[in-house]
Amino acid sequence: MAKQILQSIQKWRYLGYDRDTLQRYGAEMDRANLRTTQRMCLLALALTALLFVFYGPSLLSSDRLETAAAFALFLVIVYLLIGRMLSNQILYPFTQVKTLVFLISAVMYLCGIYSGTQLSGGELGVLSVWMFLLVQVSFDIPPLQNLFTVISFAGLFLLLDRQMKTPERWQQDIIFTSVSVLVGLFISYHQSHLALDNIIAKNNLQKTNYALYHTATTDELTGLMNRRMLFDRYETILSDCVATKRSIACVILDIDDYKQFNDSYGHPEGDALLRRIGGLLCTYSLETSIDIGRIGGEEFLAVWQEENVSRCEAVAEELRRAIEQMAIPHIGSMDYDRVTMSVGLCLLPPEKAQCAYLYADKALYRAKEAGKNCSCYFDEKTGEYRTLCKSPSDCAHGKATETSLPKE
């Protein structure tokens, strides 16, 4: 029995969840409380402005003007501070946010207590009674913190109230205050619970949407961009090249004798090979900010804005040599004893950028014809195809020999 009671208290304390869940999503609730505080500041400023409109002459001729001006200045400062906190211009710990919300609540409670004791003229403290309900439903405060806060200020109000009112009025204040506090606690709990439910549901929806987006745009086997996503990026880069008048670099990579690799080692090993190469290309993409993806089978595409031919050639050779230096055995290869890649590349100015993929693809076939395990560059100025690495021995030593191939 005692254990069940304790579990019920714990469940109430953490809004029907556990402590870790409440802490994980507490920051979102704190942000909601900050936005509520901003709105309350605007409302208070509007009410202060109305007081000046209707009671301006009397305020100007009394000492209340300084109090009203100080209060308005305080509201403006709080509003601007919260605005900066919400925009992350100031990175406050959210423990300080909780403190700020508590201070705002305390100010509201004290204003209500002052109204119900000093300004009520011995009558029922209507504003103070309503304040105990209003503050609770205005913020999403954890139940235990809300309970201690409202009980403390309600006790302070009734203690001061007893000294200034008749026993009959004091008893009425006790009844109405108790009702206000209890109703506020009930509404506040369910309101905070609903707010937490909504925050969790929103986060789960975001995770689901991200998972769907990742599935729709990522190649499952390699972790690279899939064909659809990569060609969307390709079109975007084409548009950017035309807009900024920059050239586009396009590099197509194809695993040599991939069918023979599958025939020799089996399709599971072929998939494992794609995963290893995909991991290498993914790392290279992250390090260089070059968009790289798998466009089908054993073929990959890299595309980016570039002005330097040497840089374009260097990227192609870096990737080709990196694959060769992985030294993955390939007994089915007709030319080499390891897995290699052929690369086709081109660098085109913005007015010819639409043809980049076409010429890179043709350059890839020229690389295959030149003996595989080499890079072939299409020179748009001369219309020639140049191999950058002709022999395995040159490749192993990082040399780049240029051999012109016939024009089309």
pLDDT over 70 (residue 94): no
Q: Label each residue of 269-300 as H, E or C.
A: HHHHHHHHHHHHHHHHHHHHCCEEEEEECCEE
CA atoms within 13 A on the CB side of 119: 10
CA atoms within 13 A on the CB side of 11: 7
Compute CA distances 234 → 102, 225, 248, 346, 378, whole Å. Answer: 52, 11, 10, 14, 19
- Cβ 378 vs Cβ 360: under 8 Å: yes
pTM above 0.85, yes or no: no
Compute CA distances 271 → 252, 274, 278, 348, whole Å. Answer: 19, 5, 10, 34
- Cβ 385 vs Cβ 344: under 8 Å: no
φ, ψ of residue 282 to 5 degrees: the values are -65, -45
- Cβ 292 vs Cβ 302: under 8 Å: yes
Of the pLDDT bands very low, low, confident and very high (cuts 50, 70, 90), residue 93 is low
Q: Is 45 helix (H, G, I), strand (E, B) or coil?
A: helix
Record the tokens describing residue 230, joined without a space.
């990569």
pLDDT digits (tens, 9 = 90+) for 131-190: 888 888 888 877 888 888 889 988 998 888 888 888 888 888 888 889 999 998 898 888
Least confident of 56-70, 102-116, 300-314: 56-70
Least confident of 124-128, 214-218, 229-233, 341-345: 124-128
Q: What pLDDT was estimated at residue 35?
A: 84
The rounded distance, in Å, linking the Cα atoms of 408 and 44 is 78
pLDDT digits (tens, 9 = 90+) for 354-397: 899 999 999 999 999 999 999 999 998 888 999 985 444 444 43
Q: Is 357 helix (H, G, I), strand (E, B) or coil?
A: helix
- Which strands make up the sheet holding 341-348, listed edge to edge? 291-296, 299-305, 248-255, 341-348, 375-379, 384-387, 403-405
- Cβ 262 vs Cβ 193: under 8 Å: no
In the chain, what is the straight-line distance between the N-terminal and C-terminal CA atoms, in Å?
A: 89
Least confident of 59-68, 186-195, 237-246: 59-68
Question: So what's the architecture of 227-405 in CATH?
Answer: 2-Layer Sandwich (3.30)
- Cβ 300 vs Cβ 224: under 8 Å: yes
Which residues make up the CATH 3.30.70.270 domain(s) of the chain?
227-405
